[in-house]
Chain A
């Protein structure tokens, strides 16, 4: 049945979407604009909603020196965050993929017990187990190291479950054909499972990279040296100043810079990411 559509029913979805986008984008726009004005303009509440003339100055200072209160150049913080997020994302993918492979394809004693143990860790994010985790990391001397930043966050039930779900959609005949074709478990993993998982890995990478990048509590706890800080912690430090005025323009600049890598990752991986979430074809 063909229905005559009213102009209003055409416009309504657009209207709703526009409002949604506006709500989401406005703070981002404020940050971008804020990063192009000077401290005074922002502080006295008269900042206009269009970009000002201080962009170059703000960004060079943020990248090169950082704010007065944090004292670390944003470039350095970003590098730390990047290393941590990358290690977390790649580590999570590697570990969860291997454990899902074991759970799905091997019949070992206590297999279901292992699976449920993994499942239960869903209820134990870092925040819950932060004190014992801190103890362990401190005792093995990993404070103020990249390993200390990343390793405790790597184990991931979510990713393991996702891979398990995906592996279970791979037809069992493929395993059998591989066996007959002379491919053992390692070769089957490398030649068949890995290539088939690329889109799933990409989707996970995007999600986990952003998860890693946005970590706040854990890096705050285990980094003491300013040069090991991450950018999210850095932003927080810029806002809380005891003696001086908050350097809003530098805070805004840092915030904008902090948004860039996740945005870039999403843009670059977008196609694979979407395919990984919706693809059903095997």
Chain B
């Protein structure tokens, strides 16, 4: 069990490709930290630097207070689960799980005890004598987990461990990983580009973009108060609507001819300041055709079962509304919308930074 601390970590690959551009991060003991971001943003690179599989160009990585920049992967007391599992194809499941312990000269009976225990926890006892190729994807995934947990490491590292599984199994394994991580209390870093996985798994969510950290926080906080326009559109599905707007006065923004009251906007902004207003599709109130509402002509509707998505455009910019099935009459041609002042996010149009509070409370 250990705290993981990254300080201004950078990675420059051969050919001046700067994959990670200075990341600082504190992961408290026992927390599950999820790195999420679009493809190529440097998540894997960052994780692999913690694992010791990539050299660290500058900055420092510390595990349990010990700087490990120059420490071999085997001596960092970490275990890693790979996307393609990386099981040894010629070894039985038992040997796959035991291999790391054998290399550490753990006594035989101790190895056996630990392998059996891991197999029991992961329900893979019936397969211990099989070769990986005789297992299904989900079973291989479990073996890979087994290989990680027998070692009782200080840190688990996961690089998109579920992305080779089908949707249903992915949800199931997601829950299991979370439970297991809770039960073992091992500090974990989990890389994914699936934002649902990221939201559901994390104690601490790190949103990355182009080699930088955009925002760190509890998942609910990141969702409620995205620090940048990028985070706003990346977290949440369907993504947040963005409309161009102009500051009208304190707490007021003009969007497409209408003036909106905003409760969370930085004070002292000059009227005329160019902003973008963010509204989540699920935050809108549908009010029929009441006064002081905005009317959205419906272009088309997507049925998701429990909810429906209404697509249209406001002021020439695409706009999506999510509503419970049945709330809107089937033959409606337009929606009357109202939005609560505290549900409106305001971003600087130039920098994309949130113009408002980011942290919910002082302590993260």
Tell whether A pairs with B. yes
Cross-interface CB contact of B82 among A176, A181, A196, cutoff 8 Å: A176
Q: Is the CB of A182 within 8 A of B79?
A: no
**A71–B253 Cα gap in the complex (Å)?**
109
Cross-interface CB contact of B103 among A187, A195, A281, cutoff 8 Å: A187
Q: Is B86 among interface residues, defined by CB-CB distance under 8 A?
A: yes
Q: Is the CB of B90 within 8 A of A171?
A: no
B86 / chain A contacts, CB cutoff of 8 Å = 171, 173-174, 176-177
Q: Is A6 among interface residues, defined by CB-CB distance under 8 A?
A: no
Question: What's the A-B contact tally at a CB cutoff of 8 Å?
Answer: 57
Q: Is B78 among interface residues, defined by CB-CB distance under 8 A?
A: yes
Of residues 49 to 104 in A, which have CB atoms within 8 Å of B's CB atoms?
none
B168 / chain A contacts, CB cutoff of 8 Å = none
B99 / chain A contacts, CB cutoff of 8 Å = 181, 183, 191
Smallest CB–CB gap between A241 and chain B, Å? 55
Instruction: Bits for A21-45, please: 1 = Cβ < 8 Å to B, else 0.
Output: 0000000000000000000000000
Q: Is the CB of A180 within 8 A of B103?
A: no
A281 / chain B contacts, CB cutoff of 8 Å = 89, 133
Q: Is the CB of B84 within 8 A of A173?
A: yes
Q: Is the CB of B74 within 8 A of A179?
A: yes
Cross-interface CB contact of B72 among A171, A174, A176, A179, cutoff 8 Å: A179
B72 / chain A contacts, CB cutoff of 8 Å = 179
**Most chain B CB inside 10 Å of its own CB: which residue of A176, A179, A196:** A176
With both beta carbons as reference points, the residue of chain B lying nearest to A187 in the complex is identified as B103
**A171–B132 Cα gap in the complex (Å)?**
15
**A246–B90 Cα gap in the complex (Å)?**
55
**Most chain A CB inside 10 Å of its own CB: which residue of B83, B84, B86:** B86
29 A–B pairs (Cβ distance < 8 Å), ordered by A: A171-B84, A173-B83, A174-B88, A176-B53, A176-B73, A176-B82, A177-B80, A177-B86, A177-B88, A177-B147, A179-B52, A179-B53, A180-B51, A180-B52, A180-B73, A180-B74, A180-B80, A182-B100, A182-B103, A182-B104, A183-B74, A183-B99, A183-B103, A191-B99, A192-B88, A195-B90, A196-B89, A281-B133, A282-B89
Given A180-B73, A181-B103, 10 additional A-B pairs, CB 8 A? A173-B83, A176-B80, A176-B86, A177-B82, A177-B88, A177-B147, A181-B100, A181-B147, A191-B88, A195-B90
Binding site for B on A (CB under 8 A): 171, 173-174, 176-177, 179-183, 187, 191-192, 195-196, 281-282
